[in-house]
């Protein structure tokens, strides 16, 4: 019997596990069918390497690319884990990541600043393969006490940005899409299978 994603995360000590942020049981429901596939997963935010090691063990045929602004995280490279030292707030760094795609799964667990979350999504969602997933973590930085620290100068939060995209996905049969002002979202939504929101996270799945 395989370890569950949450059991693997607990063994590696990532705060995505069920006694902390409790993201892994949620992800397992969607990522389970990809578990044995040779997936390429990109995670922004490496810190102590706990989550990239979790992904490496869960996707035993997968390749993991971790991205972090901190050069010290390069030390977490091993076996099927590569670490890129890049800044998700910089367009040119995100372009370097685009060149390393496509990716089957992208997880944004980096700075959690709204402007960075939105820019990273806009730059990288196009590199996700059909049937693949894009996850934004710690999206609760869009609300309450986190707002002053995480808005990054944006007038729209990352959660509001994704909810606006969800409006196009849900309402596409009745909305007048030619009048939608956001050209990027207008071009993206036909590729989206679904968007789901969870406590502290959002997950976007692309159509096969
Ligand atoms: C929440 S931690 C990642 C935790 C890790 N994913 C885990 O679950 O064990 C966030 C990481 O994002 C990195 N970070 C912060 N700002 C960044 C930026 N602008 N670009 C890339 N990485 C950034 C930090 O250095 C830190 O290591």
**Nearest to 51, CA basis, from 3, 1, 5:** 5
Specify the residue with its C-alpha closest to ligand 1, atom 15.
111
Contact 66, 83 (CB under 8 A): yes
Range of the domain at 90: 5-206
Q: What mean pLDDT comes out for the span 32-40?
A: 97
Q: What is the pLDDT of residues 6-18, one digit of tens each?
A: 999 999 999 999 9
In short, whether 14's Cβ falls inside 6 Å of ligand 1 is yes
How far apart, in whole angstroms, are the C-alpha atoms of residue 71 and residue 45? Answer: 12
DSSP state of 78: B
Query: Rounded distance, CA 208 to CA 116, Å?
Result: 27
Cβ of 7 less than 6 Å from ligand 1: no
> Mean pLDDT across the chain, nearest whole number?
97
pLDDT (average), residues 152-156: 96
C-alpha of 57 from chain center: 18
Question: Does residue 49 surpass a pLDDT of 80?
Answer: yes
Distance 108 CA to ligand 1 centre (A): 9
Q: Which atom of ligand 1 is nearest to the CA of 66?
A: 6
Distance 175 CA to ligand 1 centre (A): 38
Instruction: Report the length, in residues, of the chain.
Output: 208
Q: Report how far ligand 1's centroid is from the alpha carbon of 168 (Å).
A: 30
CA pair distance 190, 30, nearest whole angstrom? 20
Query: What spatial distance separates the first Cα and last Cα of the chain, rounded to whole Å?
Result: 29
Q: Whose CA is nearest to atom 11 of ligand 1?
A: 45
Residue 113, pLDDT > 80, answer: yes
pLDDT tens per residue across span 61-112: 999 999 999 999 999 999 999 999 999 999 999 999 999 999 999 999 999 9
Q: State the CATH number of the domain containing residue 78.
A: 3.40.50.150
CB distance 16 to ligand 1 below 6 Å? yes
Q: What residue ranges in the chain does DSSP mark as E strands?
A: 40-44, 63-68, 81-85, 103-108, 128-137, 192-198, 201-206
Would the pLDDT of 2 be above 90? Answer: no
Residue 85's SS3 state is strand
Q: What is the DSSP string of 54-77?
A: HHHHHSTT-EEEEEES-GGGGGG-
pLDDT digits (tens, 9 = 90+) for 159-179: 999 999 999 999 999 998 888
Q: What is the whole-number distance in angstroms between the Cα of residue 70 and the centre of ligand 1?
A: 8
How many Å apart are CA 8 and CA 16, to the nearest integer?
11
- Whether 112 is catalytic: yes
As a whole number, mean pLDDT of residues 26-37 equals 97
Q: Is the CB of 47 under 6 A from ligand 1?
A: yes
C-beta separation of 80 from 68 below 8 A: no
Domains: count for the chain: 1
Q: With 70 as the cut, is the pLDDT of residue 24 above it?
A: yes
- The phi and psi torsions of 41 (rounded to 5 degrees) equal -115, 130
Does 1 have pLDDT greater than 80? no
Which of ligand 1's atoms lies nearest the C-alpha of 93? 20
Q: What is the structure's pLDDT at 179?
A: 86
Sign of CA dihedral 22, 111, 45, 91: positive
Half-sphere exposure (Cβ direction) of 158: Cα atoms closer than 13 Å = 31
Q: What percent of the chain has pLDDT over 70?
A: 100
């Amino acid at each position: 019997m395989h370890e569950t994603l949450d059991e693997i995360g607990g063994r590696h000590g990532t705060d995505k596990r069920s006694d902390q942020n409790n993201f892994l049981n949620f992800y397992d429901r969607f990522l389970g069918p990809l578990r044995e596939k040779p997936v390429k997963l990109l995670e922004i935010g490496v810190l102590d390497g706990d989550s990239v090691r979790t992904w490496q063990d869960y996707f035993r045929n997968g390749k993991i690319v971790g991205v972090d602004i901190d050069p010290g995280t390069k030390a977490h490279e091993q076996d099927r884990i590569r670490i890129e030292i890049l800044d998700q707030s910089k367009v040119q760094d995100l372009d370097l990541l685009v060149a390393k795609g496509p990716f089957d799964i992208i997880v944004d667990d980096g700075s959690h600043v709204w402007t960075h979350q939105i820019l990273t999504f806009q730059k990288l969602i196009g590199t996700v393969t059909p049937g693949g997933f894009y996850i934004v973590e710690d999206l609760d930085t869009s609300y309450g006490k986190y707002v002053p620290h995480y808005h990054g100068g944006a007038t729209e939060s990352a959660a509001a940005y994704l909810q606006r995209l969800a409006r196009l996905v849900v309402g596409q049969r009745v909305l007048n899409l030619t009048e939608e002002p956001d050209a990027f979202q207008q071009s993206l939504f036909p590729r989206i299978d679904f968007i789901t929101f969870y406590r502290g996270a959002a997950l976007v799945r692309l159509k096969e």
